[in-house]
Structure 1
Amino acid sequence: MTAKYFALLTQLGAAKLANATALGTSLNLTQMAVGDANGVLPSPDASQTKLINQKRIAPLNMLSIDPENTNQIIAEQVIPENEGGYWIREIGLFDDEGVLIAVANCPETYKPQMQEGSGRTQTVRMVLVVSNTASVTLKIDPAVVLATRKYVDQAVAEHELSRRHPDATLAGKGFTQLSSATDSDAENLAATPKAVKAAVSAATAANTNANGRVPSTRKVNGLALGADITITTITGNAATATKLATARTINGIAFDGTANITLPTPASVSYTRAESDTRYVQNVQRGAAVNPGKANEYGPNEAPAGCVLTRAWHDPSTSYGVFFTYRPLQILINGAWRTIAG
């Protein structure tokens, strides 16, 4: 299938490129032009010296060798949103002497103006295949460059991957390396949250330890606590005493430290086991079963006071045949079982 859209060197462009290759000089590509070809999609012609109907010519925004094909030169021009009002069907590439070096056609696209109610930045690209890219000067005037989104994204990505950044110092900002060390004297490292946390924990522990210590201004037996002390003299009877100088009483019983004492148990607050058995419940059991029958069509709905409901069943021979069984509770006190009444 024959290509519908393509670019080619003009006869003048091919001659200039061949001459530059032979003489070891350079061909300086500097400008790109666009046109509408008078409303008809053109077919590029090597004999062209200008576009059919040129609408705009301006310096290139980018000129580079295709990184994936070293025989291809990529030329780009960015048309800002405040320019337009015409169709783009033809593209021309010019050198620094104004000679049309290459010509191309492209899919028809309309470049609107802002006053028309719509505007956009239009990027026009021409990919040119040459035999010797070394003969083409890849130089752009930075004063006229308007970067494309793709170019900016690529430049940012390359910058992120590079290490061409200054290191931070005490005199200037820059990149710095993180460190979790808490015992370093380095001035070119930055502390991580882990290091800060460890330092704060150590300081808090030291402060807590200091708060719990006896101040060094205190004295023991007249000796300051600034260092270990040894007590060599004990005055009074502290070394030889075997009893309290003044007896004290515990629950009304005298105590001077010379003998053990036994505190009596008040009779009003304690009982022997035999006494407890005559006063308190020793065990609980259920008494004999009682079947009261049906008191009404639903039967009794609760057991009498002092009794527990132990069974309920249905009599299939009656429409409402619900029967119950309950047992009285019995308690064991002083060796005898007693039935709870009420």
Structure 2
Amino acid sequence: MTAKYFAILTNYGAAQLANAVALGTQMNISAMAVGDGGGTLPVPDPAQTKLVRETRRAAVNQVSIDEKNPNFIIAEQVIPENEGGWFIREIGLFDDNGGLIAVGNAPETYKPNLQEGSGRTQVIQMVLMVSSTQAITLKVDPSVVLATREYVTKSIDTAIQESEAKSAKIYATKTELSSGLSGKQPTGDYATRTELNNGLSGKQPTGDYATKTEVNSKLAKDQNGADIPNKPKFIENLGLPEKFQPIGT
């Protein structure tokens, strides 16, 4: 059974791809167009240079290689909900020069306009099988805000993987720190422990401080004055000599 819906390279597209492969250059898919086929389902023709009746043309959102089929190129475009009012029966891909690279037909789909009271976002994909995907530029147009859920999911997964790869080397492990600091002395205007010990050895603090010897020679609380060397002088200093009568006089 002959396929009813399919996409093919045009003669122009096949020549451009062959030239890119031969010269080691790349063919850039820059735009996608949709059309209503003039009211009927068209049959793609390699001799085509334009769609039967184009209704919209805009930059592609994404061009990528199918993960399961490395020779399949997937071109994708998102039509916003505020554009429409026509049927989609044909699709075309264009290069930077405006040449029609590939053409395909699609099951008839009406794209409503939001002003009609039933707008929706429409995702259009064209899948092409080519001999060399290296000859085709794979890109995402950064000027296009809309994206499919699949693209967003892949972008998030990629960002997470890149973030994890970067953060893995931001921090040092305990082993790395230990081996890196082992036997190290801080550099700069700092004194080492040996220098501090040598500098302070045998030193007494200057200023209004009591030495250890002075502190030890002071009155002991548990002696109750018995360790006062000159008791009469001590009483005199307190202003109490007339109140005391020496014992035995």
Aligned to 2:54: 54
TM-score by length of 2: 0.65
CA distance, structure 1, for counterparts of residue 104 and residue 165 of structure 2 = 39
User: Over residues 294-330 of structure 1, what are the superposed CA-to-partner deviations in whole Å (9 max), with x where a residue is unaligned?
Assistant: xxxxxxxxxxxxxxxxxxxxxxxxxxxxxxxxxxxxx
CA distance, structure 1, for counterparts of residue 99 and residue 161 of structure 2 = 40
Secondary structure at the counterpart of residue 142 of structure 1: coil
**Is 1:152 the counterpart of 2:152 in the alignment?**
yes
CA distance, structure 1, for counterparts of residue 157 and residue 138 of structure 2 = 22
Aligned to 1:79: 79
User: Over residues 160-205 of structure 1, what are the superposed CA-to-partner deviations in whole Å (9 max), with x where a residue is unaligned?
Assistant: 4552353799xxxxx9x9xxxxxxxxxxxxxxxxxxxxxxxxxxxx
> Residue 22 of structure 1 aligns to which amino acid in structure 2?
A
Aligned to 1:186: none
Change (3 A) 1:168 1:139: closer
> Residue 30 of structure 2 aligns to which amino acid in structure 1?
T
**Is 1:44 the counterpart of 2:70 in the alignment?**
no
Aligned to 1:88: 88
Aligned to 2:199: none
Number of residue-to-residue matches in the alignment? 176
CA distance, structure 1, for counterparts of residue 63 and residue 129 of structure 2 = 13
Aligned to 1:134: 134
Aligned to 2:236: none
CA distance, structure 1, for counterparts of residue 132 and residue 9 of structure 2 = 13
Aligned to 1:181: none
TM-score by length of 1: 0.48
CA distance, structure 1, for counterparts of residue 168 and residue 135 of structure 2 = 40
Report matched runs for 1:260-279 at 5 Å: none
Identity %: 60
Greater strand fraction, Structure 1 or Structure 2: 1
CA distance, structure 1, for counterparts of residue 88 and residue 76 of structure 2 = 14
Aligned to 1:304: none
Secondary structure at the counterpart of residue 167 of structure 2: coil
Secondary structure at the counterpart of residue 16 of structure 1: helix
Change (3 A) 1:17 1:168: closer
Aligned to 2:165: 164
Aligned to 1:241: none
How far did 1:79 drift? 0.4
Aligned to 1:33: 33
CA distance, structure 2, for counterparts of residue 143 and residue 56 of structure 1 = 17
- Partners of 2:62 and 2:141 within 8 A in 1: no
Secondary structure at the counterpart of residue 97 of structure 1: coil
Change (3 A) 1:129 1:145: farther
CA distance, structure 1, for counterparts of residue 80 and residue 147 of structure 2 = 11
CA distance, structure 2, for counterparts of residue 11 and residue 33 of structure 1 = 18
Secondary structure at the counterpart of residue 156 of structure 1: helix
CA distance, structure 2, for counterparts of residue 51 and residue 11 of structure 1 = 14
CA distance, structure 2, for counterparts of residue 164 and residue 33 of structure 1 = 39
Aligned to 2:107: 107
Secondary structure at the counterpart of residue 165 of structure 2: coil
CA distance, structure 1, for counterparts of residue 59 and residue 16 of structure 2 = 20
Report matched runs for 1:1-342 at 5 Å: 1-161=1-161, 163-166=164-167
CA distance, structure 2, for counterparts of residue 23 and residue 41 of structure 1 = 37
> Residue 86 of structure 2 aligns to which amino acid in structure 1?
Y
CA distance, structure 2, for counterparts of residue 49 and residue 40 of structure 1 = 19
Query: Which 4+ stretches in 1 moved above 4 angstroms?
Result: none
CA distance, structure 2, for counterparts of residue 29 and residue 168 of structure 1 = 38
How far did 1:157 drift? 3.3
Higher-Rg member (1/2): 1
Structure 2: tracts of 5 or more residues without a match:
174-220, 223-249
Change (3 A) 1:130 1:168: closer
How far did 1:138 drift? 1.3
- Partners of 1:30 and 1:140 within 8 A in 2: no
